[in-house]
């Protein structure tokens, strides 16, 4: 079992071996689950749906115009 100490600010460091095993990197989010007398740390999966609405378009474009721009950029 890997261990870590809680800091004055309530922070813990996830041991390098655990980060590597689960592919956790700086900026990744983790969640905490309570299971009986245990605390379970789980990676938060990010997906496209989670980002929906984060970026606002400066102007609206029709689907037809988008398809035309894609074809033009692809050289077709």
The predicted-structure confidence for 28-51, as pLDDT tens digits, reads as follows 999 999 999 999 999 887 776 666
Domain membership of residue 62 (yes or no) is yes
- Are the C-beta atoms of residues 44 and 30 closer than 8 Å to each other? yes
Residue 56 in domain? yes
Instruction: Indicate whether 64 belongs to any domain.
Output: yes
Q: Does residue 1 lie in a domain region?
A: no
Q: What is the pTM of this model?
A: 0.55
The answer to the question of residue 43 being in a domain is: yes
Distance in angstroms (rounded) separating the CA atoms of residues 20 and 8 = 26
Domain assignment present for 4: no
For residue 44, the enclosing domain spans 16-74
Question: For residue 15, what pLDDT is reported?
Answer: 95
Whether residue 39 is contained in a domain is answered as yes
Residues making up the chain, counted from first to last: 76
Q: 5: Cβ–Cβ under 8 A, 6 or more apart, which residues?
A: 12
Q: Which residue has the tokens 């299971």?
A: 35
Q: Which two tokens stand for residue 17?
A: 């071996």
Total tally of structural domains belonging to the chain: 1
């Amino acid at each position: 079992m890997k261990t870590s100490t809680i800091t004055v600010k309530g922070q813990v460091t996830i041991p390098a071996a655990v980060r590597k095993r689960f592919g956790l990197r700086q900026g990744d989010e983790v969640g905490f689950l309570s299971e009986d007398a245990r605390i379970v740390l789980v990676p938060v999966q990010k997906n496209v749906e989670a980002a929906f609405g984060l970026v606002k378009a400066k102007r609206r474009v029709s689907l037809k115009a988008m398809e035309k721009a894609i074809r033009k950029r692809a050289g077709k």
